Amino acid sequence: MKLREMLYGVSRVEICGTLPESLLNACAKQALNLWDLETVDAFTLRASLAHKQLNLLRELAVKCQCQVTVLRRSGGSDSLRMLRRRMWLLFGAVLTAALLLASSLFIWEIQVQGYQKLSEGRILRALADCGVERGSFWPSLEPDQIRSRMLLELPELAWMTVRVSGCRATVLVSERVEKPELYQEDRAAEILAKKTGIIVSLAVRNGRALVSPGDSVLAGERLVTGRMDSLSHPPRYVRADADVLADTWYEWTAVCPHAQIYKRGPGSLHHRYALKLGKTRINLYGNGKKTLDGYDKIVHEYPLGIRGLFALPLSLIEERLQRYEPGETTEDFAEEIGPRLERRLLESIDGQLLSSKLSLVQGNDRIYVTLRGQCRENIALLRELEEEQAAS
């Protein structure tokens, strides 16, 4: 019965009149089926009937001086309309599932793990040259070929692999460990001057000194030789080892402006939005190619999807434009540059700074700060000799 009511439709009506019983008698004579009769009061009845008999009921109600009011309708055309809406909803769900399935065949998110010395940008560029980038059709990728090309593109890698899960590609890399420099204790070597200076002291542990304290030496000059001469035997070669302290002099010059430009206070804040579909960007604002001077622009990209589960080729881009006003300050930068030069000098030497002197030269729009320093450092530089050099 319920299935029949759903297919043909049912109306719940309210009958009001002086003698509603007369309308019931008329319905019985016309074979008009009413069910679920309910008495509200002495002049009001409620009943259910099929949609197609509603017009006949109204005609009989006019003759019996009664009034018919439809309370609700169910089934029939209403059910079909609801079914159509649900069909469109089902169609939309199927279409969405199909798009998600098709999208999962492409790579929309790439994660690189295991790198330390190499930058992520360099690895991603090499992957793009090998065909692994956003929008790549991953079933057509060949891991062995990608691995071989990546090892040729980046000699710093020892091995790498690409794992694809849905539309996410995880790239695992392992960087090559450089072999330590090996040397033989009995291999001949000599000590050279790493920098130009005046010798202060020598501590020769192996080899023969060629200079004495107080001598001036140039960079690359031999200080300690590994050749040991003998009166009764031919010369032999050893591995020279020594510490050579020398006084060295440096002159460094830094240039700075008279005034520094800075940004004064945050101004107005504007937002711009865009959509990124695959590799195509769709701006949701006008004048997208207009340059904005006097604005700081911060770009945030929000990919659509569930992180760690799946990603979609659609992302929302937000641009925050913060306006600022440029200003100038006339602070004395020479006082800051002097200590910086001294710190840089100490980082570049193997010793200590004995004395230093700063000098300033005022230009038209620049200030030239010069640091002259005297240092005492170890200038010994070990150089191994080949067999041919030792023999000569």
Query: Is a pLDDT exceeding 80 seen at residue 315?
Result: yes
pLDDT in tens, 289-302: 666 667 788 888 88
| C-alpha atoms less than 13 angstroms from C-alpha of 391 in its C-beta half-sphere | 3
Which residues share a beta bridge with 306?
A: 310
Query: What residue has token string 């070990």?
Result: 382
Side-by-side strand order, sheet with 168-175? 109-113, 168-175, 157-165
Query: What residue has token string 């002049």?
Result: 43
Bigger pLDDT: 76 or 328?
Answer: 328
Alpha-helical segments (H) within 39-76: 54-63
**pLDDT classification of 1: cutoffs 50, 70, 90:** very low
Under 8 Å between Cβ of 35 and 47? yes
Highest mean pLDDT among 211-225, 250-264, 278-292, 357-371: 211-225
What residues does each domain of the chain span?
2-78, 106-175, 189-246+385-391, 260-329
**pLDDT classification of 389: cutoffs 50, 70, 90:** low
Highest mean pLDDT among 11-25, 211-225, 332-346: 211-225
> Against a cut of 0.85, is the pTM above it?
no
Two structure tokens written together for 105: 């065949």
- Per-residue pLDDT, averaged over 210-238, amounts to 88
Under 8 Å between Cβ of 225 and 251? no
**pLDDT classification of 82: cutoffs 50, 70, 90:** low
Alpha-helical segments (H) within the chain: 2-8, 20-29, 54-63, 77-103, 120-129, 143-153, 334-348, 387-391
Average pLDDT, the chain: 81
- The CATH classification of domain 106-175, taken from the options 3.30.1130.10, 3.10.20.310, 3.30.230.70, 1.10.1060.10: 3.10.20.310
> CATH code for 2-78?
3.30.70.260
Give the Cα separation of 135 and 313 in Å (integer).
8
Under 8 Å between Cβ of 23 and 17? yes
For the beta carbon of residue 187, count every other beta carbon within 10 angstroms: 15
